[in-house]
Structure 1
Amino acid sequence: MLTDHAGAGERTVPACPQWTVRDLLAHLTEICDRVITRFGGEACPVPETAPVAELLRLWTERGPEADALLAADGEGKSRGDIMVMDAFTHELDLRYALGAPPPEAHAAWLRGFEVLVSGLGASLGNHGLPGMRIEIEGATWIAGTEPIAAVLSGAPVDVYRSLAGRRSPAQIAAMDWLGDPEPWLRAFTWGPFAPPEEPVER
């Protein structure tokens, strides 16, 4: 996508307004390098002034190494799942920044959802809230503990973006709910995610 959008490196990312497109790519590349280093690989620090083309080269070269190190480690799956979620979430950030549509199908959808639903479930417990069911076409998850007291359903991209802190409380409440959404909204702030006060994406 970035190769097809020459000059987009300085464009602001709506979901991460403190970042440009180049900053987002640098973040992904730095995370990849950090994981490689943690699992015994050789560090390759990302230059602070590296342009988009250089960052894309590093991402393409280092990705397979990160995959291999995670696959070879007994604890790599959970860490790999988090990396998949992070990378896919930022791919969607990038798509919105470039005006590109979200994918209709993607290998990371279900893995990313599993990480986000798990995080929401922990947040529900921390807030003393009962469990809820998350539904998209073709998949269902339970966040928190049963019995459930609410159901959230909708288009995959809208539910995913809500779980990943990219939808405002009003946008989350406006989705398809069985039950009053209000008590659950505060649980959507967890870990690195916090819904923006005002919508940043349609």
Structure 2
Amino acid sequence: MTDTTRGPIPDPAHHLAYRACRENITRLVTSDPSVAELPVPACPGWRVRDLVGHLVLVCRMAVDEDPGEISEPPPPPPGIPVHELVITWAALEEQLPGVLPRAEWLRRRILPLDALSHELDLRTALGLPPPDGSPALADALDLAVMGFTLSLHGHGLPALRVRTPDREWTAGEGEPAATVGGGSLEVFRALTGRRTARQIGELSWSTPPASWLPAFTWGPFTPPTRAVEEAAPTPMGPDRHSGT
């Protein structure tokens, strides 16, 4: 028998990972009023205020249990100050514990992925290093590999082993035909549209990567034509192939 008197089962892992990103972003965007108007190279046409507004709208859609596509809502109307946006975001985030337990699994998981991706976009725009040990990264990377798996299938490509220093996945079906590897953040950025085809080719590949490059375009993600941030160096290994 199900006990219905206690309400929905909490979903603390995804909420806490999301909260960590929100708090980091809030601290960064309120550090200096001039930050709001800085461009965000990873999000062409956006300034920092637009990035925060996007995150507020994504959070609002989750709280309102809006079934619409949450990956690409428009930025808010111009003129809303950043300090007002972050206050609204904090108030909305407080409501997530009552919403996430009954949300579909993709909605629960895509919130921290979206927040982490844009936290990294913001840090690049501000010339800051990535966060040290983000609690959102592990699950965001799992979800990114899952989306990449569907893209491999959609492009009719063979399976690919994806490897980071401490984890490994098989993206696609069957025995992997090749391996691509790099640091966890670097692989995440490559899988989520923040690395050019050339930068993707500079990861550690066990074979020339050209055949797999089309699969890096999936969902809302498309490799940029120009670098939006400097890629972290990938150690040369015995199976290293460079270039495309």
Asked if these proteins are the same fold (TM beyond 0.5), I'd say: yes
Match of 2:58 among 31, 43, 47: 31
Gaps in structure 1 of 5+ consecutive residues: 41-45
* TM-score, normalised via structure 2 length: 0.76
Match of 2:118 among 51, 75, 90: 90
Deviations, residues 73-94 of structure 1 (Å, cap 9, x unaligned): 0x43321101111111111111
Match of 2:36 among 9, 28, 31: 9
> SS where residue 151 of structure 1 aligns?
strand
C-alpha separation between the residues in 2 aligned to 1:102 and 1:146? 34
Match of 1:65 among 91, 95, 101: 95
C-alpha separation between the residues in 2 aligned to 1:33 and 1:155? 33
C-alpha separation between the residues in 2 aligned to 1:168 and 1:148? 23
One-letter amino acid matched to 2:141: F
Q: Does 1:54 align with 2:73?
A: no
One-letter amino acid matched to 1:76: E
* Runs of 4+ more than 4 Å apart: none
One-letter amino acid matched to 2:60: D
The number of equivalent residue pairs is: 195
Match of 1:139 among 164, 167, 172: 167
C-alpha separation between the residues in 2 aligned to 1:121 and 1:181? 16
* RMSD, aligned CA: 1.6
* TM-score, normalised via structure 1 length: 0.91
One-letter amino acid matched to 2:208: D
C-alpha separation between the residues in 2 aligned to 1:9 and 1:104? 24
Is this contact kept in 2: 1:39–1:70, CA < 8 A?
no
Is this contact kept in 1: 2:52–2:85, CA < 8 A?
yes
Match of 2:213 among 163, 180, 185: 185
Q: Does 1:119 align with 2:147?
A: yes
Q: Does 1:161 align with 2:189?
A: yes
Gaps in structure 2 of 5+ consecutive residues: 1-27, 68-75, 231-244
Deviations, residues 18-39 of structure 1 (Å, cap 9, x unaligned): 1000000000001111111126
One-letter amino acid matched to 1:141: W
Compared with structure 1, are the counterparts of its residues 159 and 5 closer, same or farther at alpha carbon in structure 2 (3 Å cutoff)?
farther
Computing the radius of gyration over CA atoms, which structure comes out larger, 1 or 2? 2
Match of 2:48 among 7, 13, 21: 21
48-57 vs 21-30, greater mean Cα deviation = 48-57
Is this contact kept in 1: 2:196–2:224, CA < 8 A?
yes
Is this contact kept in 2: 1:39–1:69, CA < 8 A?
no
Q: Which has the higher contact order (CA 8 A, sep 6+)?
A: 2
One-letter amino acid matched to 2:163: E
Using the TM superposition, give the Cα deviation of residue 48 of structure 1 relative to its aligned residue in structure 2, in angstroms: 4.6
Tell me which residue corresponds to 2:18.
Answer: none
Match of 2:157 among 100, 113, 129: 129
C-alpha separation between the residues in 2 aligned to 1:28 and 1:81? 15
Q: Does 1:170 align with 2:164?
A: no
Using the TM superposition, give the Cα deviation of residue 141 of structure 1 relative to its aligned residue in structure 2, in angstroms: 1.4
C-alpha separation between the residues in 2 aligned to 1:189 and 1:8? 30
C-alpha separation between the residues in 2 aligned to 1:94 and 1:102? 9
One-letter amino acid matched to 2:40: V
Tell me which residue corresponds to 1:43.
Answer: none
